[in-house]
């Protein structure tokens, strides 16, 4: 079978296209149907709807960051197998991005206005991690997914009791993130040294506080 090898320019252009469509809020096509499909949410009170929208906007921005991190890592991965693995994981995160975008629309809300900024920062972070080594890059995935899984567990507590649709989305994402972390660990990801995990937590806390409102 004929396989087309992408030139550096082809890759750069594909990267720019992916960045623009992700960060500027183009609707992402999920491969799997949303776990919220068919769940009735018509009885949500207005304050609950607004709170759920804030939380799902945070999750949507988290998924924009995931796309950017994986893309940044893949762009400079040394090993072709690692690169392919990172792009495959990014494809799975596209489901999450699509589901969060759909849920935000159902909640009559919109993605964060600052997504282009978060995308750029996360892409750079992913590229820097991958420049160190593939093991560090995969370790970065392990730590990110560990923190995201814990964060999604908190959201299952914080989401309004009546919003079963958002809960279904978050619960499935949590399960998927745990698997992503496991795969990165099995592929050779190492534990990141302090203070990196703490710095990552601070950065994501800032993102969460901002994206909840804007
Ligand atoms: Fe995700
Ligand atoms: Fe993930």
Answer yes or no: pTM beyond 0.85. yes
> What is the C-alpha to C-alpha distance for residues 43 and 50, in angstroms, rounded to an integer?
13
Residues 6+ apart with CB under 8 A from 53: 104, 107, 108, 109
Alpha carbon of 92 to ligand 2 centroid (Å): 8
In degrees and rounded to multiples of 5, residue 28 shows phi and psi of -95, 135
Residue 23 parent element (H or E): helix 8-23
Asked whether residue 20 carries a pLDDT value surpassing 60, the answer given is yes
**Between the ranges 17-21, 26-30, 38-42, where is the mean pLDDT highest?**
38-42
Judged by its nearest atom, the ligand closest to the C-alpha of residue 95 is 1
Rg, C-alpha atoms of the chain:
17
Judged by its nearest atom, the ligand closest to the C-alpha of residue 65 is 1
CB 104 within 8 A of CB 60: yes
Instruction: Kindly give the residue spans of alpha helices, DSSP state H, lying in 77-133.
Output: 80-106, 115-132
Please compute the mean of the pLDDT values over residues 191-209 and round it to a whole number.
Answer: 92
> What is the C-alpha to C-alpha distance for residues 30 and 99, in angstroms, rounded to an integer?
7
pLDDT digits (tens, 9 = 90+) for 35-70: 999 898 778 899 999 999 999 999 999 999 998 998
Asked whether residue 13 carries a pLDDT value surpassing 70, the answer given is no
CB 75 within 8 A of CB 11: yes
Judged by its nearest atom, the ligand closest to the C-alpha of residue 179 is 2
Judged by its nearest atom, the ligand closest to the C-alpha of residue 64 is 1
Cis previous bond, 105, omega within 30:
no
- Residues near ligand 1 ion, CB 5 Å cutoff: 66, 93, 96
Alpha carbon of 45 to ligand 2 centroid (Å): 31
Asked whether residue 124 carries a pLDDT value surpassing 90, the answer given is yes
Alpha carbon of 30 to ligand 2 centroid (Å): 14
Alpha carbon of 1 to ligand 1 centroid (Å): 33
Alpha carbon of 6 to ligand 1 centroid (Å): 27
Judged by its nearest atom, the ligand closest to the C-alpha of residue 62 is 1
Asked whether residue 4 carries a pLDDT value surpassing 60, the answer given is no
């Amino acid at each position: 079978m004929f396989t087309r090898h992408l030139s550096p320019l082809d890759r750069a252009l594909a990267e720019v296209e992916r960045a623009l469509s992700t960060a500027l809020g183009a609707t992402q096509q999920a491969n799997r149907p949303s776990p919220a499909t068919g769940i009735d949410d018509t009885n949500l009170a207005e304050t609950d709807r607004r709170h759920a929208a804030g939380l799902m906007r945070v999750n949507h921005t988290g998924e924009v960051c995931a796309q950017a991190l994986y893309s940044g890592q893949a762009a400079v991965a040394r090993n072709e197998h690692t690169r392919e693995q990172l792009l495959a994981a990014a494809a799975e995160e596209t489901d999450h991005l699509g589901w969060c975008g759909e849920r935000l629309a159902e909640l009559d809300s919109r993605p964060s206005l600052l997504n282009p900024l978060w995308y750029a920062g996360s892409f750079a972070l992913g590229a820097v991690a991958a420049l160190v080594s593939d093991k560090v890059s995969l370790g970065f995935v392990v730590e990110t997914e560990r923190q995201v899984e814990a964060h999604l567990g908190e959201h299952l507590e914080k989401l309004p009791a009546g919003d079963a649709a958002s809960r279904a989305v978050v619960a499935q994402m949590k399960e998927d993130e745990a698997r992503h972390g496991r795969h990165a660990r099995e592929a050779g990801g190492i534990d990141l040294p302090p203070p990196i995990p703490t710095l990552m937590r601070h950065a994501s806390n800032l993102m969460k506080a901002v994206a909840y409102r804007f």
